[in-house]
Structure 1
């Protein structure tokens, strides 16, 4: 199968591309070649911004895509720029579970939605959840609801993704714990750490994307992916410690003393736990063992530490939190 991927060189997109190539599919990867783009991802690389894709119409026609995977549409304009140029073929689009009203509750400290969350649960009433927050690589007009609206009307499968972890994670979700392990810390200040937030291992989610391309039974639908059972944030931290062979212990502190990088260890008013029953039924998909996946992820991240190191300021901040 000839697959055109918008993106395909970061984290989950990279893993999807590798899996497609490994099974013999031909790939045309459309991306800007940014610093985060992994070298050596198999396929033909077309270096261009998606908003300039019209200049490359002949190459797209020559490739004659039989399927499309959009890994990096952040705004409605991102979709509008490519829809007229792409054929009506099976399409998988990566979205986020931040489309749900529960995400607003998580951000604002209010309980706004019951869990577990299904695909028909209430979506956010307020648009642009990251506006003005200055997150790197996230535009102020970021809105996955706008992305979904456009692609669903085209018959695409929209995969709503959870908190993702695993090798090559550029957000380094486990790093708040791992950086303290590297620094030899034996006490880690956390809050109640009882947040339940569905997670997903990168390879499981790549399997879900391939299943959506192959089965076609979810065309035109949104589908949640993630774990079938979710542990608290504190239990996840303990899994990370165990996988790293660390004897450090989590120590409870008041929420107003939690270090910023451990903010998710607070006591939330809203949980974000999703049901993946639709994915299991329509796609025949099921995730693997989270304990094994956490161990695999931790091994990779310990072997590939970030450039920024633990500092004296970090030590002082943790010591102040623990001394309270």
Structure 2
């Protein structure tokens, strides 16, 4: 298969490209050239900003793609810019489970939706969830806009949960691992009851390949994630066990939790999704979550971040622990 991948050089897109190459696809990775991995798999590269992709229309046409994967459409404009240039072939698009109204409930501390969430669950009533946050480049972020435009083209839209694994820029497990690296013996937590769907990056990549290989899901949105999900508190314990570390989780009052540990609190809205549609239509099945956590933790321990644990971090934890 000749496959165009938009994005594809960092984390999820990177693993998708590697999996496509492993199975023998001829891959053209379209990206700006800012994050090209060193000593990577031998695939073709086209350095272009997606908003100027029309300038590379000849190169796209000459590649004569059989399929397209869009790994990094964040806004309506991101999609509008590429639709006239890309061939109308089977397409898979990465979206997010933040499209559900349950995500709004998680952010506001209100119960909004029953779980598990199927693809027919209520979508967010309000758009542009990061517009008031001041986060650079996120004012127009809206996966609902992305989905609407790609679904009109009969793309398969994959709604992703919290994704972890090698090369994760957000370093999900570092909520625990940075405390272990700093030699901390105790970590403050809340009730830790939250059910938050997660997925290892390899399981996401195999889901993308499965969606490329069947037409049963064309024009549909599909959830990917774990088949079973442990509460956040157990996930933290899994990380500690995988790191073979001596770190005690100490429950503290909700008001005392450091901001970065808010997801360990007692939250009224879960973000737990059903993957039945993915299993039935794509023939896809994820690997056991505990095994995936172990794989990811061992990789991140071997590839620590440059940012050190700071004195301020320690003070925040100590103040919370004193309130226990």
TM-score by length of 2: 0.97
Root mean square deviation of aligned Cα: 1.0
What are the residue-to-residue correspondences of 1:46-195 with 2, within 5 Å?
A: 46-135=46-135, 138-195=137-194
Deviations 1:285-320, CA, capped at 9 Å, x for gaps: 110011111010000001111101011221111111
What are the residue-to-residue correspondences of 1:270-285 with 2, within 5 Å?
A: 270-285=269-284
Over 3 Å counting, the alpha-carbon distance change for 1:256 and 1:37 in structure 2 is farther
Q: In the alignment, is the contact (CA less than 8 A) between 1:157 and 1:219 conserved in 2?
A: yes
* Residue 245 (structure 2) pairs with residue 209 (structure 1): no
Per the TM alignment, residue 38 of structure 1 is displaced from its structure 2 partner at its CA by 2.5
2-structure distance, mates of 1:317, 1:19: 41
Deviations 1:96-139, CA, capped at 9 Å, x for gaps: 00000000000011100010100011100000011121335x52
1-structure distance, mates of 2:113, 2:149: 25
Specify the SS of the correspondent of 1:83.
coil
Per the TM alignment, residue 211 of structure 1 is displaced from its structure 2 partner at its CA by 0.1
Q: In the alignment, is the contact (CA less than 8 A) between 2:21 and 2:41 conserved in 1?
A: no
Q: In the alignment, is the contact (CA less than 8 A) between 2:173 and 2:297 conserved in 1?
A: yes
Per the TM alignment, residue 162 of structure 1 is displaced from its structure 2 partner at its CA by 0.4
Paired position in structure 2 for 1:295: 294
Specify the SS of the correspondent of 1:292.
helix
Report how many residues are paired. 322
Paired position in structure 1 for 2:255: 256
Q: In the alignment, is the contact (CA less than 8 A) between 1:194 and 1:268 conserved in 2?
A: yes
Deviations 1:39-71, CA, capped at 9 Å, x for gaps: 324311111110000000111111011100000
Per the TM alignment, residue 24 of structure 1 is displaced from its structure 2 partner at its CA by 0.8
Specify the SS of the correspondent of 1:178.
helix
- Which 4+ residue blocks in structure 1 deviate beyond 2 angstroms? 36-42
Paired position in structure 1 for 2:229: 230
2-structure distance, mates of 1:225, 1:134: 29
Over 3 Å counting, the alpha-carbon distance change for 1:266 and 1:37 in structure 2 is farther
Paired position in structure 1 for 2:2: 2
2-structure distance, mates of 1:41, 1:175: 28
Deviations 1:133-184, CA, capped at 9 Å, x for gaps: 1335x52010000000000010100000000011110010010100000011
- Structure 2, gaps ≥5 residues long: none
1-structure distance, mates of 2:42, 2:238: 33
TM-score by length of 1: 0.97
